[in-house]
Amino acid sequence: MATTTRTVAEVCAQARDASRVLATLPSGARDAALHAMADALEQRSAEILEANARDMEAGRESGLNAALLDRLQLDEGRLAGIAGDVRTIAALPDPVGETVEGHRLPNGLDVRRVRVPLGVVAVVYEARPNVTIDCSALCLKSGNAIVLRGSSTAAHSNSVLARVAQEAVVRTGLPEGSISIVAGGDRDELRQLATQDGLVDLVIPRGGEGLKAALKEHATVPVMYAAAGNCHVYVDASADLDDAVAIAVNAKVQRPGVCNAAETLLVHADATAEFLPRALGELRESGVELRVDGRARLLAGDLADSLAEASEEDWETEYLALILAVKVVDSVDEAIEHVNRYSSGHSEAIVTGSTDAAQAFTGGVDAASVYVNASTRFTDGGVFGMGAEIGNSTQKLHARGPIGIRELTTFKYVIEGSGQVRE
């Protein structure tokens, strides 16, 4: 097992060697390795859950909040789901070698653009042990080697999961450096990983602003940020109010500690009288702390005196908790302006009965995923049919939205001729 008993550079060098083998393996060999990984997760579940219990105990003692503990926790059901996701990824069409496009030049040369693996992908993440397996499976399916660097919060879980996965794929004939892990407790280790030019092709961080800032300070290899989610639900004047209440509550409450949960509710002034008392009441019954602007307070009915006043900071905040900011707007254009000012570009939703409003919102909002009459909670690689995801990119190059197997490839041009030379 590749660990930090060796240097970060040595781990990455072994991953580079493995990546060159993985890029040439037939799809069946990589798929067999993924099935072996899934089987091993189920067969060694007791070992994995024991390690996770140690992390959970340490997390409670250190005062981790409920959202982080939820991200950290594994149980039989979640572990079975992770194994199932690995099998789903194995069943996806192989992206490696796929011809994206092709054409013949007037001189007879055939030019094809073909998908190829990136090479070595380093994933840096916090307090989510499922990421260890999701990312490993996605990288192997797309022909990449992976170097994992989790946080100390999930150190026991990540170590066992990576060992189980690596041992399983090696038994099927994949090189040892296909899956590697470094300990995750040292900031200098992060700096080293992010500066392995020539060995690491891409770093993908999954974590908070501190992690992002650390990488921006040090990284010399390309970074694709799986960014935070300051997401909004906008209830338009023409919205079906039953749908609007259900979507607003689901987007906030169903799992508040994840990046596609809503953090701000925007409501058209013409919908407030009927919508706000119902929606705010259901949100409060679900345990949501509400922070509202002055116009929303006036229409909150009996709840008005118990509502906190929203500040500028509230519009900017990703709570990852049962807290929701609420603002009244006068038009879809004002909603779009607010979203584009404060959004992280992750997932945004409009609830409307108007085709014009829907088109204005989807065209005007600058985000990776934009919903019409649906909850933001659907932004997920697994839900989108990608098996799983490494994260959700809010960048525009080279991938945007859920990062799956195709987002872990680049391309090369393959040109075939019959003796042509350039004059």
Q: Which residue reads 């020539």 in tokens?
A: 198
How many CA within 13 A on the CB side of residue 268? 21
- Both structure tokens of 216: 């921006």
Buried b (16+ CB within 10 A) or exposed e, 364-400: ebebbbbbebebbbebbbbeeebbbbbbbbbeeeebb
Side-by-side strand order, sheet with 120-125: 179-182, 145-149, 120-125, 202-206
Which tokens hold the place of 211?
A: 């992690």
Weakly modelled stretches of the chain, pLDDT under 50: 1-4
pTM of the model: 0.89
User: Residue 383 and residue 347: Cα distance in Å, rounded?
Assistant: 14
Beta bridge partners of 124: 149, 205
| Sequence-ordered list of residues with C-beta below 8 angstroms from that of 338, at least 6 positions apart, any chain | 232, 264, 266, 315, 327, 329
pLDDT in tens, 131-185: 999 999 999 999 999 999 998 999 999 999 999 999 999 999 999 999 999 975 5
Q: How many CB atoms lie within 10 A of CB 309?
A: 11
Burial degree of 270 (CB within 10 A; 0-12, 13-18, 19+): middle
pLDDT for residue 4: 43
pLDDT of residue 70: 87
**Domains annotated on the chain, with CATH:** 8-226+390-416 (3.40.605.10), 231-378 (3.40.309.10)
Specify the pLDDT at position 184: 59
